[in-house]
């Protein structure tokens, strides 16, 4: 019996298998007008295909808690009720296919207001629907990005409340799981890391101060998110910096604290907050960071990073390195990866009635 295709329960939500789809931005929402930030036909087709393909859990791409929290003007958002109604179309279909719908709540911080990747990803100015980014400190991500405005304490509190309101809307939109984006150099990650957080007040300096904002967001979201539904947190376990920066030791320590604050699973990635670093990529290169959190803390984990074939994914879960695997680009290449892997490993997934034939 394949471990990869065993169900997994967190709180009162049972996910039918351990093949999950991580958030991957599509940069395909309207940048202005009444439908700004709302999912459209592309988003429906994109997520529906992976659900029909047997994926157990789908985490909808980074969904901004405010207009200024988007990575690009073309990102999804969940700061108004028009967006909520548009998301309901997607969540209803995912549920109909046996897939658990999740959403990643995000704020891009100093990496906000950029062009779409296929347009070069440069900072977007006012003539391209852009805006001025904000951050813990007035430190640019790299030489291409503008220097962000440093957030005041009052503004920090406002963003915490934006996450709270986004959680309330995500529930109304039909999502069963919410994930807080604390990775890849976006706002929460910027606060966590001494590389990007140079503050000298209660939100900077010591480890306790740098984690304060993240824990305030977690507490606000957990207060809105029902007790019977899981809450995830995505973390960059290392910044791949040789000297200053967030470290794997920090991640292990933080994982235990997140668990105490009501986080049910840590989605373990790496990098994104420091430009120009060398990352030693290879098959499953981020899995050891997830495995360490799982072995040293009470926190369940999901692993991500160049997980591409069925046997590799099966071993990660069967060996106890992670409770589930997140397949990104592989699911872009093959929306039915889960069905193919189940056939190879002897597992079972939901197959739409329309795929059955009597001939």
The three state secondary structure string of 199-216 is CCCCCCCCHHHHCHHHHH
Assigned token pair, 124: 């977007």
Cα 112–248–56 angle (5° rounding)?
70
Distance, in Å, from the CA atom of 99 to the CA atom of 112, rounded to the nearest integer, reads: 30
CA dist list (Å): 158 to 71, 164, 216: 19, 10, 11
- In the set 8, 186, 203, 207, the catalytic residue is 186
β-pairing, 13-15 with 100-106? unpaired
Q: Token pair of 236, please?
A: 């960059």
The Cα–Cα gap between 230 and 222 comes to 9
Question: Cβ(110)–Cβ(139) under 8 Å?
Answer: yes
E strands in 16-172:
19-21, 57-64, 76-77, 100-106, 134-135, 149-150
**Is 74 in the active site?**
no
- Classify residue 30 by its DSSP letter: B
Cα(212)–Cα(192) distance, integer angstroms = 8
Question: How far, in Å, CA of 245 to CA of 46, rounded?
Answer: 36
What tokens appear for 43 in the block?
């988003």
- The DSSP secondary structure of 36-62, one letter per residue, reads BT---HHHHHHHHHHHHTT-SEEEEEE
Residue 228 and residue 172 in contact, taking contact as beta carbons nearer than 8 Å = no
Structure tokens at 89: 């179309």
Give the number of residues written for the chain: 359
- For residue 164, the number of C-alpha atoms closer than 13 Å in the C-beta half-sphere is 14
Distance of CA 29 to the CA centre of its chain: 18
Residues designated as active site = 186
């Amino acid at each position: 019996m394949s471990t990869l295709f065993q169900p997994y329960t967190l709180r009162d939500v049972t996910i039918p298998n351990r093949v999950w789809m991580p958030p991957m931005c599509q940069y395909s929402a309207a940048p202005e007008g009444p439908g700004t930030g709302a999912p459209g036909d592309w988003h429906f087709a994109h997520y529906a295909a992976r659900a029909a393909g047997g994926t157990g859990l789908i985490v909808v791409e980074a969904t901004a808690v405010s207009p200024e929290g988007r990575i690009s003007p073309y990102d999804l958002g969940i700061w108004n009720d028009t967006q909520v109604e548009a998301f309901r179309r997607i969540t209803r279909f995912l549920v109909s296919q046996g897939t658990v719908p999740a959403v990643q709540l995000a704020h891009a911080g100093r990496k906000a207001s950029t062009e779409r990747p296929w347009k070069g990803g440069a900072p977007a100015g006012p003539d391209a629907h852009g805006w001025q980014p904000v951050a813990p400190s007035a430190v640019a991500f790299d030489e291409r990005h503008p220097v962000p405005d440093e957030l005041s304490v009052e503004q920090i509190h406002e963003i915490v409340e934006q996450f709270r309101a986004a959680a309330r809307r995500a529930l109304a939109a039909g999502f069963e799981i919410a994930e807080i984006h604390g990775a890849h150099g976006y706002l929460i990650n910027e606060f966590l890391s001494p590389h990007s957080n140079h503050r000298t007040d209660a939100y900077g300096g010591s480890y306790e101060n740098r984690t304060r904002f993240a824990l305030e967001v977690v507490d606000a979201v957990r207060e809105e998110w029902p007790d019977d539904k899981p809450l995830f947190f995505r973390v960059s376990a290392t910044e791949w910096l040789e000297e200053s920066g967030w470290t794997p030791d920090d991640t292990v320590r933080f994982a235990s604290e997140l668990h105490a604050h009501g986080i049910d699973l840590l989605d373990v990635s790496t990098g994104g907050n420091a430009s120009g670093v060398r990352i030693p990529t290879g098959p499953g290169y981020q899995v050891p960071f997830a495995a360490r959190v799982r072995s040293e803390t009470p926190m369940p984990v999901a692993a991500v990073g160049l997980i591409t074939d069925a046997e590799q994914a099966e071993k990660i879960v069967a060996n106890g390195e992670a409770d589930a695997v997140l397949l990104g680009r592989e699911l872009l290449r093959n929306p039915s990866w889960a069905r193919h892997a189940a056939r190879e490993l002897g597992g079972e997934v939901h197959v739409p009635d329309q795929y059955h034939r009597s001939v």
